[in-house]
Amino acid sequence: MRGGGGGWMGPERSLGGMPRVFGLHRQFEEGGDSRMPRIRRATPRRVGGYLLPYWRQWLVIFLCVGASAGFGVIPPLLVRGILDRAIPHHDPRLLAFLVLGMIALNIVLGLIGVLQSYLNARVGQDVMVDLRNDLYRHVQRMSLRFYTTTRAGEIISRINNDVGAVYGVVMGTLIAIVSNFLTVLATLIAIFSLSPQLALLAMVVVPSFYLPTRLVGRVRRRLSTETQEKQADVLAFMQERLNIGGMLLTKGFGQAGADAAEFADRSREVADLQVRQAMAGRWLFMSLSVISVAGPALVYWYGGWQAMRTGLTIGTIIAVVSYLTNLYRPIGAMANVYVDVQGALAVFERIFEYLDLEPEVLDRPNAIVLDQAEGRIVFEGVTFTYPKPLWRPPEEDENGAGDAPEPALRDLSFRVEPGQRVALVGPSGAGKTTVTYLVPRLYDPDSGVIALDGRDLREVTQESLRVQIGMVTQETFLFHASVRENLLYARAGATDDEIIAACRAGQIHDFIAGLPEGYDTVVGERAFRLSGGEKQRLAIARALLKDPRILILDEATSNLDATSEHLVKEALATLLEGRTSLIIAHRLSTILQADQILVMDHGRLVEQGRHVELLAHAGLYATLYHRQFEGVVGGQPPG
């Protein structure tokens, strides 16, 4: 049938029956998501679950951190030895020993650092790989609803960006906390053992910088979030305008000047924010640096006084003062530890939110692995409503919560015997595509049963079910890979001979052989583009290679030239041979050859039978038939 379409079987549609929304916007928005997810109680434990498998490495990392903190207290002691012993006692050997000790210590610290960096990188990357794999497997298990309702960019953003953030969080926050804590502890012990009074004196100034640091940390974080949001706006703006569609609009409406001005404004906003961020707390920090000088000053004053009175050594005073940096810096860093930990957990929380989405179609624990099926398909009282989107912006939820969606299939019952050819016919939106989704269990029915060879589909594993079913849809999706690799996707073990045989039967071999690199030619969106008819034949060859018992075919509505149409028809004839087939029919020949025609309307089966019977019945089928094919029949021999 030339150029079917029209009211007969519905328009072309993308998989899932809904237009896809590609939301790159969202991806950028997420970069600046100021909303911190609520941290659930189980989250820290789950994070632990991802870190724990690497406990040996963690142990070594923390030993390294501990060793660095511990060794960090030694240099001031060496200085003290030089000042208090080597010089006063005129002991050049001790002097040399202490100086060499300083150098040796630095070498050791350097080596520890190298080991720790390696382990950090290793563990951090391994944890990310684990998370990515879990996410990938998880989203694979999600039903089609997930993919029709989730913006493409978002899934990838989660797997890529959110997991990417884990590295910084785990390696930065966690290790910094431990390192700071141990450094403070080691330093305090060292100072107290040198001189408890000086230690207490040094501690007096701690609150005076600890609290303001916390404050500034908060301001900075707020500014940084705001900056990210504005940056995301700029990115989204560019994304929208600097592409072919946006540019056509811009040029078409002569808006180039206005757009450039808006871009300039937005960029300036970001720049201003970044300056503010850089300056936030600068004044405060300046005053703080004055305060932190108070620490050493107090130590020199009291220590000097003690030196005069009780003979406290100069080396001790110098050592204590050098310890102060080791003390104040980590304490300052720990001022915002709570916020840091919350931020770190939030990164995980966003990933866990995704991992917690329940796949709707699940294998039962005791699901049976289906052997070679006979191909008897029975629908019994099947009612199915497309589920609501999993994720909706909250504002949509408020408005759209009340309206219950219409069922796509209502109380549908029919029976297909093994080897039968069944044509699905009906107006657009009747539910034909939905039927073809339920057979491979891309969704489960709300009520009723779908059975294959007398077995409820929910009793068998999805994988063993889908091995039995081949799908040839209107739009053929090809991966960006060679023709051969695309074909092997149907059956990994296929030999070259089998591939060629399938392609011959699919009427596409000669075409492929004529391509620049034959079966190794890379096809797909960004490579060699195949015409509609060529893609269809390749899809048919792919299905032939899979050799399923059951075939689901959505006949193309698009116009093919006569040669192409002829080749596709030939290929289809071979493909349908000896299989149970469910066909969303657009060609008259298909309908005439069908063993059974199911006429659907509004999700119901309204008529059922063979062409002649249905025509005689003078119902919906007859109406559709007359509208679509009258006048054509004479010109085209049926079948």
Q: Determine which residue in the list 313, 434, 482, 580 makes contact with ligand ADP, applying CB under 6 A.
A: 434
Interface with ligand ADP by CB under 6 A: which range of 98-106, 188-196, 421-429, 492-500? 421-429
Q: Determine which residue in the list 5, 6, 18, 573 makes contact with ligand ADP, applying CB under 6 A.
A: 18
Phi/psi of residue 608, nearest 5 degrees: -155, 135
Contacts 24+ apart (CB under 8 A), 36-44: 36/342, 36/343, 36/346, 37/346, 37/349, 37/350, 37/353, 38/349, 39/342, 39/345, 39/346, 39/349, 40/349, 40/352, 43/345, 43/348, 43/349, 43/352, 44/345
What residue has token string 């040029």? 251
- Residues 190, 319: Cα–Cα separation, whole Å: 9
Residue 599 and residue 608 in contact, taking contact as beta carbons nearer than 8 Å: yes
Tell me how far, at minimum, the Cβ of 389 lies from ligand ADP, in Å.
Answer: 8
- Residues 622, 394: Cα–Cα separation, whole Å: 47
Residue 432 interacts with ligand ADP (CB under 6 A)?
yes
Of 190 and 430, which has the nearer Cβ to ligand ADP? Answer: 430
Of 10 and 75, which has the nearer Cβ to ligand ADP? Answer: 10
Q: Determine which residue in the list 236, 320, 351, 430 makes contact with ligand ADP, applying CB under 6 A.
A: 430
Residue 474 interacts with ligand ADP (CB under 6 A)?
no
Judged by CB under 6 A, the chain residues 546 through 585 that form the site for ligand ADP are none
Q: Determine which residue in the list 146, 302, 323, 386 makes contact with ligand ADP, applying CB under 6 A.
A: 386
Q: Determine which residue in the list 429, 440, 470, 548 makes contact with ligand ADP, applying CB under 6 A.
A: 429
Of 27 and 148, which has the nearer Cβ to ligand ADP? Answer: 148
Of 484 and 604, which has the nearer Cβ to ligand ADP? Answer: 604
Tell me how far, at minimum, the Cβ of 405 lies from ligand ADP, in Å.
Answer: 7
- DSSP H or E run through 595: none
Residue 608 interacts with ligand ADP (CB under 6 A)?
no
Residue 501 interacts with ligand ADP (CB under 6 A)?
no
DSSP state of 584: E
What residue has token string 């299905």? 543
Q: Determine which residue in the list 69, 205, 327, 408 makes contact with ligand ADP, applying CB under 6 A.
A: 408
Residue 6 interacts with ligand ADP (CB under 6 A)?
no
Interface with ligand ADP by CB under 6 A: which range of 312-320, 348-356, 427-435, 484-492? 427-435
- Residues 311, 512: Cα–Cα separation, whole Å: 95
Of 436 and 476, which has the nearer Cβ to ligand ADP? Answer: 436
Interface with ligand ADP by CB under 6 A: which range of 16-24, 64-72, 413-421, 485-493? 16-24
Residue 445 interacts with ligand ADP (CB under 6 A)?
no
- Residues 634, 93: Cα–Cα separation, whole Å: 115
Nearest to 76, CA basis, from 98, 49, 50, 60:
98
Count of residues near ligand ADP by CB under 6 A: 15
What residue has token string 């809904």? 18
Alpha helix (H) ranges present in 443-546?
Answer: 462-467, 483-488, 496-505, 509-513, 532-546
Tell me how far, at minimum, the Cβ of 385 lies from ligand ADP, in Å.
Answer: 8
Residue 592 interacts with ligand ADP (CB under 6 A)?
no
Residue type, 179: S
Interface with ligand ADP by CB under 6 A: which range of 33-41, 174-182, 430-438, 477-485? 430-438
Tell me how far, at minimum, the Cβ of 477 lies from ligand ADP, in Å.
Answer: 17
Interface with ligand ADP by CB under 6 A: which range of 207-215, 302-310, 431-439, 613-621? 431-439
3-class DSSP string for 310-363? HCCCHHHHHHHHHHHHHHHHHHHHHCCHHHHHHHHHHHHHHHHHHHCCCCCCCC
Interface with ligand ADP by CB under 6 A: which range of 32-40, 162-170, 422-430, 464-472? 422-430
The torsion region of residue 197 among left (phi > 0), alpha (psi -120 to 50) and beta comes to: alpha
The pair of three-digit structure tokens given for residue 88, joined into one six-digit string = 């006063």
Tell me how far, at minimum, the Cβ of 585 lies from ligand ADP, in Å.
Answer: 11
The alpha carbons of the chain give a radius of gyration, in whole angstroms, of 36
- Contact pattern from residue 180 through residue 219 relative to ligand ADP, giving x for each residue in contact according to CB under 6 A and a dash for the rest: ----------------------------------------
Residue 172 interacts with ligand ADP (CB under 6 A)?
no
Of 430 and 572, which has the nearer Cβ to ligand ADP? Answer: 430
- Residues 183, 67: Cα–Cα separation, whole Å: 10
- Contact pattern from residue 107 through residue 146 relative to ligand ADP, giving x for each residue in contact according to CB under 6 A and a dash for the rest: ----------------------------------------
Q: Determine which residue in the list 1, 8, 16, 266 makes contact with ligand ADP, applying CB under 6 A.
A: 16
Work out the end-to-end distance of the chain between its first and last CA atoms, rounded to an integer number of angstroms.
10
Of 340 and 554, which has the nearer Cβ to ligand ADP? Answer: 554
Q: Determine which residue in the list 1, 4, 8, 10 makes contact with ligand ADP, applying CB under 6 A.
A: 10
Interface with ligand ADP by CB under 6 A: which range of 171-179, 222-230, 425-433, 544-552? 425-433
Q: By CB neighbour count within 10 A (0-12 exposed, 13-18 middle, 19+ buried), where does 274 fall?
A: middle
Q: Determine which residue in the list 76, 124, 431, 440 makes contact with ligand ADP, applying CB under 6 A.
A: 431
- DSSP H or E run through 447: strand 447-452
Closest-by-Cβ residue to ligand ADP is 17
Q: Determine which residue in the list 433, 507, 536, 581 makes contact with ligand ADP, applying CB under 6 A.
A: 433
Going by C-beta distance under 8 Å and a sequence separation of 6 or more, which residues neighbour residue 541?
A: 487, 502, 503, 505, 506, 508, 571
- Residues 233, 225: Cα–Cα separation, whole Å: 12
Phi/psi of residue 514, nearest 5 degrees: -85, -5
Phi/psi of residue 110, nearest 5 degrees: -60, -45
- Residues 178, 171: Cα–Cα separation, whole Å: 11
- Contact pattern from residue 140 through residue 169 relative to ligand ADP, giving x for each residue in contact according to CB under 6 A and a dash for the rest: --------x---------------------
Judged by CB under 6 A, the chain residues 227 through 266 that form the site for ligand ADP are none
Q: Determine which residue in the list 428, 462, 521, 558 makes contact with ligand ADP, applying CB under 6 A.
A: 428
Q: Which residues bind ligand ADP (CB under 6 A)?
A: 10, 16-18, 148, 386, 408, 426, 428-434
